[in-house]
């Protein structure tokens, strides 16, 4: 089985940071050296020369670093493409989906990130289904390429004027029919995987909405339970205020 080796994992980590290290490695040493010489010299002419060389070495080093970084990025892209092809040779697993993020749609990446934050169990199921979707997509793409090749060979065989191409045409036609059947099966697997992804996304959204709704209903119920108590307290305060005002009011003199 095609599994990711420790050496490949280490190579992937190195290639990820190598372009940026190359820029720093080519840009900084020269300017640092000339800045040091600039600070330690006492001659005006030498100081001006070192300052000029600092800017020149920074520009040249940065340009060389960008060129090396571009070469490393191109190499990394090709290396990752070969690695993905090797990992997918026996089917993509959930643990290997991380290496195929470039083949995921933006909606799938966003849904995966959201589900991983809210429901780890559904996230595992989503990763498994993503692995199936990626495998089916790759198989379908490969069958399409092979069908195009068979079609080209069949057209070239038909264009030949020789009479002994009938057997070749029959073989190529049989190959095309077989590939068509396999392509249809791959399309069915792909459709089921996409449907399963939608079901998991809907389930995760439904669970999240239910939790939010329950929380809001609990807060609403608590507020409604507290409202009569608040009104009762307010009523008691008004009654107490009236009693205090009645006690403070002076008695009216009586007329005999």
Q: What is the pLDDT of residues 194-221, one digit of tens each?
A: 999 998 888 887 765 555 555 555 554 5
Mean pLDDT of 150-161: 82
pLDDT at site 163: 62
Higher pLDDT, 131 or 157: 131
Question: Comparing C-alpha atoms, which of 60, 61, 69, 53 is closest to residue 28?
Answer: 61
| Mean pLDDT value of segment 16-33 | 92
CA 58 vs CA 27, 34, 52, 97, 215: distances in Å: 5, 10, 10, 40, 58
| pLDDT the model gives residue 48 | 87
**What is the rounded average pLDDT of the residues 49-68?**
92
Looking at residue 256, its pLDDT comes to 43
Average pLDDT over residues 77-104: 90
pLDDT band at residue 157 using 50, 70 and 90 as cut-offs? confident
> What pLDDT score was predicted for residue 160?
75
- Is the model more confident about 254 or about 186? 186
Q: From CA 239, how far away is CA 5, in angstroms rounded?
A: 81
Position 250 scores a pLDDT of 56
Question: Residue 104's Cα: distance from chain center in Å?
Answer: 8
Helix or strand holding residue 78 (H, E) = helix 44-87
Percent of the chain scored above 90 by pLDDT?
A: 38
**What pLDDT was estimated at residue 220?**
45
- Give the lowest-confidence range in 13-22, 42-51, 109-118, 158-167: 158-167
Considering the chain, what percentage of its residues have pLDDT values greater than 70?
79
What average pLDDT is seen over the chain?
Answer: 82
Give yes or no for a contact between 19 and 74, defined as CB atoms under 8 angstroms apart.
no
Comparing 11 with 232, the larger pLDDT belongs to 11
């Amino acid at each position: 089985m095609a599994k990711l080796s420790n050496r490949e994992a280490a190579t992937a980590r190195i290639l990820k940071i190598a372009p940026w290290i190359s820029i720093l490695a080519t840009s900084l040493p020269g300017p640092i050296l000339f800045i040091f010489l600039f600070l330690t010299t006492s001659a005006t002419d030498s100081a001006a020369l070192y300052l000029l060389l600092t800017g020149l070495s920074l520009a040249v080093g940065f340009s060389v670093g960008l060129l090396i970084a571009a070469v490393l990025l191109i190499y990394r892209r090709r290396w990752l493409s070969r690695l993905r092809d090797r990992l997918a040779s026996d089917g993509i697993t959930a643990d290997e989906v991380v290496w195929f993020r470039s083949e995921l749609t933006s909606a799938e990446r966003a849904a995966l990130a959201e589900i991983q934050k809210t429901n780890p169990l559904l996230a595992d199921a989503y990763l498994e289904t993503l692995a199936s979707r990626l495998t089916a997509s790759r198989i379908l793409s490969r069958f399409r390429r092979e069908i195009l090749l068979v079609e080209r060979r069949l057209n070239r065989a038909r264009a030949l004027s020789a009479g002994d191409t009938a057997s070749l045409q029959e073989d190529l036609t049989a190959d095309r029919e077989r590939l068509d059947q396999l392509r249809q099966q791959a399309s069915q697997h792909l459709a089921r995987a996409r449907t399963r992804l939608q079901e998991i996304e809907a389930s995760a959204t439904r669970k999240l909405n239910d939790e939010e709704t329950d929380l809001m209903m609990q807060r609403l119920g608590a507020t409604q339970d507290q409202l009569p108590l608040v009104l009762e307290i307010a009523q008691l305060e008004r009654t107490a205020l009236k009693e205090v005002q009645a006690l403070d009011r002076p008695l009216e003199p009586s007329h005999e």
